[in-house]
Structure 1
Amino acid sequence: MNYYLGIDCGGTFIKAALFDENGKIHACERENVAVISEQSGYAERDMPELWQVCANVIRRTQKSSKIRPHFIKSVGISAQGKGAFLLDNERQPLGRAILSSDQRAQAIVKRWQAEGLEEKVYALSRQGLWTGHPASILRWLKENEPERYQRIGYLLMSHDYLRFCLTGELYCEESNISESNLYNMTTGQYEPQLARLLGIEEIAGKLPPIIKGNQIAGYVTEQAAQACGLAAGTPVVGGLFDVTAMTLCLADNQPHKLNVILGTWSIVTGISNEIDDQQAWRFAHGRYVEPGKFLIQEASPTSAGNLEWFVKQWNLPYEQINQLVAALPPAQSAVIFLPFLYGTNAKLGMTAAFYGMQAHHTRAHLLQAVYEGVLFSLMTHLERMYQCFPQVKTLRVTGGPAKSAVWLQMLADLSGKTLEVPEAEEIGCLGAAIMAAEGVNGNGDALKPHQAQRVIRPNQANFDAYQNKYRRYQKLVKLLEQMAEPLQIS
């Protein structure tokens, strides 16, 4: 039996899972990796520590599986997208990595928007302007840390950096770098005109070659083998943007289904054969794993991370939270929550808030409002995606909130759509492992077993109540947009 290792580097944890050629998982280990936020709006990671945690997780996974390293035929990495992992000319980390959730470039993005750059940039990149894009972070560094900017030797993203640590080879993987605002979605190459438009033309020579997700990028070095326990010479493939990896495991390319990924972010994805220039909304596009196809997505950091904050404050178990929320009548409370603790899908600069609280409201009402607010924000993304995928009848849902029957039923009732919840484990790792298998075998389909799934159908009796409260949520967002200000970094 051959085995394939999938690594998933997310916003909170690094996970490694070992799959056999039938897609069965034999071991999975995880470890928290710190996000450093020493100033308002900052989200950074220590790069050497990130590699050390990754190596530890790989070693523990291999050890717990009791599978000898030489039976692990290849490695793939899935990781959160965007951000900036910088190396100097000696290939050493150039300070901390700046993550996609970092917001220090807000003022720059607002300035670009005021200058009318968004339309010009979107025409080439099929990406809007956003604080977490590498291009935005690089411009902030140029203006605020010019010495560091001048020392940049290579720009990477998180899985590019971890792959470099494993192999010593430098590449930027296509599904991730295609969403950087440095890549031309039509030509499939870096676009120097984008760098010039955004005032970072110097970076053009700092971009490593582009590699596909299933292409062998290099082989585990002796040094890396000693650190992580893999066999030296094990092939490592390009890997995938984590959203692409999860979509690969969820999607069955049926036009009546969309994929919903709920974690720190709310993400809605669909797969298209073309870029539709007639769409009024500027959808984010990325290169998909299949040639000639594009991943279309709507996303924002407005999901379960908001609940996690409250869990820390009140130290409540999730089962108790579900019980408290389930005991309340659906959508009857006047309390509305804007789930913008970590960013927004409304106007740049908006922050989280409760509205409508009165003395009779309890902790349960606040928790219910958090559940609803996360889904109202998601509904904004869904309504936009319906413009591009008008035949949708079913949502395929995964992520932390998918473990809550209460939250899932709430989503079905709000959207009026049937939900399918696949039971597959660690789909980010699985998507990376599929790429690893394709890299050495030319075919990763064997790793995609038939997935059992739960089906949740909407309760039409609750649809109107949720829709009415959703419209109130939208009005509140509109009213508060005028108060949004660029983040003050101090």
Structure 2
Amino acid sequence: MKYWLGLDCGGTFIKAGIYNAEGKELGIARKNLAIASPHPGWAERDMPTLWQTAASVIREVLNHCGVAAQSIQGVGISAQGKGLFLLDKQGQPLGNAILSSDQRALALVQAWQKAGIPQDLYQQTRQTLWTGHPVSLLRWVKQHQPERYQQIGSVLMAHDYLRYCLTGELACEETNISESNLYQMECGTYDPALARLLGIGEIIPALPPIVGSAEIAGRINATAAAATGLQPGTPVVGGLFDVVSTALCAGLQDETRLNAVMGTWSVTSGITQAIEPGFDYPFVYGRYAEAGKYIVHEASPTSAANLEWFCQQWGIHDYAALNHCVAALPKAGSQLLFTPFLYGSNAGLGLSASFYGMQAFHQREHLIQAIFEGVVFCHMAHLNRMRQRFPHTSALRLTGGPAKSAPWMQMFADVSGLPVELPQVEETGCLGAAMAAMVGTGAFSDFTTAQQALAPRIETVQPDASAREAYQQKYQRYLALVTTLQTLQNTDFKETL
């Protein structure tokens, strides 16, 4: 029998899955990943520990499934995008990795915005500027940790680092590095002029070669084989930015479907064959896994991680009970609002999370309902903009852990007014990574063929027309609250006083 292994590195967990040529999942192993916050707004990860954890989940899934190492035909990796994983000139981790949710570069990005730098960049990179972009973090390191900056040998992202640990080969995978603000989107190459514009021109020699998602970028070396149980020489492909992985598993192939991902990040994606200018809003483009296509997406760290935080604070572990209590409440029946900005905002840099409208009669279930609603409302900001770029959207495909929550999915359908289609894939990151390995090792000729062969069953949630007016009224109140918070954030109280 032939099998493929997909490794998925997310914001909270790392997972490994094994799949056969029909896309059947034999098993999954997962472990939690710790996030260090040595200062407010910082989000870091210990790189050696990440590799050790990755190796352990690979070994665990091989043992759990009883699959012989020689049966694994190839390995793929899907991971969170952006952030910064640095190696020194000897190829060793250079301090902790900095994750995409890190906000230490906030003041720097705000200064760039005032100087008009994002507008200069956009026409070349098709990216906005975010605190978690590699360029923002590199400039911050240069300013605040100059000795560390001088020691940089290689600039990587999460799956590039894990691939390096598996193979000893340095490369940057295209779907991810294309969104770094160091890459000319239409030319498909690094551009030293971009780095110079951002004050980090000397970093260009530290950028490894670019590889495709399904391109064999290296093979399992002896050290990694001993740590993981994989066979030495097993091919490892470039891999995927996780939003690309989920789009592949959701079956996106044309402009009639958008894919929403609910996890640490709120992401809405669409697939297109062309970069279209002429919009007032700067849509973010990235290279797609399939040659000649782009992924367009909106994203912010404003999704289900807000509920995870709430559950951790109050020791809640029964998600079925959460769903039950939300389903038992009238739709949009409470005046309580929640802005899901615990880890960042899609409405302005520096905005914070908050409950508004809380009174003594509110119970815990009202707070949970407000979190459900706030996350959906925040997704709507992305979805509404994306529908301008994709006017023929007829349905929304939704993936991520919350897709298992029936009341949350019904809420998404009710608020958006679109049918919500739920691909029945347990782990889109692992399957997408395995799909890249299948294409790279010749099991399928390309990603479109792989998508068609591995197409999952789809369940559909239709919107409840009777709830739409109530949700729209509450959504307008949410937007008014966000506008007020923006005004508060931008007010200089020293001048006022």
TM-score (norm 2): 0.96
- Structure 1: distance between partners of 2:293 and 2:254: 14
* 1:449 positional shift: 2.4
How many residue pairs end up in the alignment?
486
* Superposed counterparts of 1:122-271, under 5 Å: 122-271=122-271
Give 1:401 shift.
1.3
Contact 2:88 2:152 in 1 (8 A): yes
Q: Distance in 2 between matches of 1:474 and 1:252?
A: 30
Kindly state the Cα deviation for residue 256 of structure 1 after the two structures are TM-superposed. 2.2
CA displacement at 1:253 relative to structure 2 = 1.9
Partner in structure 2 of residue 460 of structure 1: 465
Partner residue, 1:344: 345
Give per-residue Cα distances to partners, 1:397-444, cap 9 Å, x unaligned. Answer: 111111111111111111111111111221111111111111111536
Give distance in 1, aligned partners of 2:76 and 2:327: 40
Identity of aligned residues (%): 54
Q: 1:125 to 1:369 in 2, by over 3 A?
A: same
Give the Å deviation of 1:77. Answer: 0.4
Contact 1:83 1:132 in 2 (8 A): yes
> Which aligned pairs between 1:259-298 and structure 2 lie closer than 5 A?
259-298=259-298
Partner of 1:2: 2
Q: Which letter maps to 1:3?
A: Y
Deviations 1:32-78 (A, max 9, x none): 11111121011101111100000000001111111110110110000
Maintained 8 Å contact 2:255/2:272: no
Q: How far is 1:485 from its partner?
A: 6.8
* SS of aligned partner of 2:361: coil
Asked whether the equivalents of residues 21 and 446 of structure 1 are also in contact (C-alpha less than 8 Å), the reply is no
User: Whole-Å Cα distance in 2 between the matches of residues 411 and 69 of structure 1?
Assistant: 42
Q: In structure 2, the residue corresponding to 1:64 is in which secondary structure?
A: helix
2:284 maps to a residue whose letter is: A
- 2:114 alignment counterpart: 114
Q: Which amino acid aligns with 2:472?
A: Q
Instruction: Using the TM superposition, give the Cα deviation of residue 476 of structure 1 relative to its aligned residue in structure 2, in angstroms.
Output: 0.8
Native 8 Å contact 2:6 2:431 kept in 1: yes
Deviation of 1:251 after TM superposition, in Å, equals: 2.6
Matches within 5 A, 1:1-40: 1-40=1-40
CA distance in 2, matches of 1:222, 1:266: 39
CA contact (8 A) 2:252 2:259 kept: no
Give 2:142's aligned amino acid.
Answer: K
The offset of 1:192, in angstroms, is 1.0
Cα deviation per residue 1:325-382 (whole Å; 9 max; x = unaligned)?
Answer: 1121111211110000011000100000011112222111111110000000000000
Q: Which residue of 2 aligns with 1:41?
A: 41
Distance 2:186 2:403 in 1: 35
Q: Is the 8 A contact 2:47 2:96 kept in 1?
A: yes
Distance 1:194 1:252 in 2: 31
- State how far apart, in whole Å, the 2-side matches of 1:169 and 1:306 are: 37
Q: Take 2:479 and 2:277, find their aligned partners in 1: how far apart are those partners?
A: 27
Following TM superposition, the consecutive aligned residue runs of length 4 or more in structure 1 with deviations greater than 4 angstroms are none
Q: CA deviation at 1:252?
A: 3.5
Work out the CA distance in 2 between the residues paired with 1:415 and 1:75: 37
1:472 aligns to 2:472 (yes or no): no
Distance in 1 (alpha carbons) for counterparts of 2:356 and 2:480: 12
Aligned to 1:394: 395
Deviations along 1:119-140, one digit per CA (max 9) or x if unpaired, are 0011111000100000000000
Instruction: Please list the CA deviations of residues 190-234 of structure 1 after superposition, one character each: whole Å capped at 9, or x if unmatched.
Output: 011110111111111110000001000111001110011000010
| Equivalent residues in 2 for 1:314-353, closer than 5 Å | 314-316=314-316, 317-353=318-354
Residue matched to 2:495? none
